[in-house]
């Protein structure tokens, strides 16, 4: 379950009240785990707990349209493509363990 949605900070505050940082990227993924196109709060919670226990990543949960989801945010300028690939590998491995 992913639905891209972004709201640039420039749309949130009048220009007289803020200064936007140019070229800033904040990436957010909202993902639910399950099978057959249906999310399972139990499976989502299991994957989040296992990911956190791995020590390789940390992210929390949220509720999206009444469903428990993982809220994964990548916002550091130091995050590389390799870091993202490592996270995806970890998530695939955690899903296969169930």
Domain boundaries in the chain?
A: 28-96
Cα separation, 54 vs 90, in Å, equals: 9
* Cα–Cα distance measured from residue 92 to residue 89, given in angstroms and rounded to the nearest whole number: 5
Strand partners, 60: 71
- pLDDT per residue, tens digit, the chain (98 aa), is 444 444 444 455 555 555 555 555 667 888 898 888 888 999 999 999 999 999 998 889 999 889 999 998 877 778 888 988 998 899 889 888 75
User: How many whole angstroms from its chain centre is CA 13?
Assistant: 25
CB 97 within 8 A of CB 54: no
Nearest CA among 96, 28, 85, 35 for reference residue 56: 85
CATH no., domain 28-96: 3.90.1150.10
């Amino acid at each position: 379950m992913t639905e891209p949605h972004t709201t640039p900070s420039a749309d949130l505050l009048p220009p007289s009240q803020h200064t936007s940082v140019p070229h800033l990227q904040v990436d957010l993924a909202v993902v639910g785990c399950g099978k057959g196109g249906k999310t399972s709060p139990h499976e989502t919670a299991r994957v989040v707990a296992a990911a956190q226990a791995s020590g390789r990543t940390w992210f929390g949960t949220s509720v999206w349209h009444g469903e428990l989801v993982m809220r994964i945010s990548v916002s550091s300028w130091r995050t590389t493509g390799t870091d993202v690939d490592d996270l995806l590998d970890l998530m695939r491995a955690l899903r296969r363990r169930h």
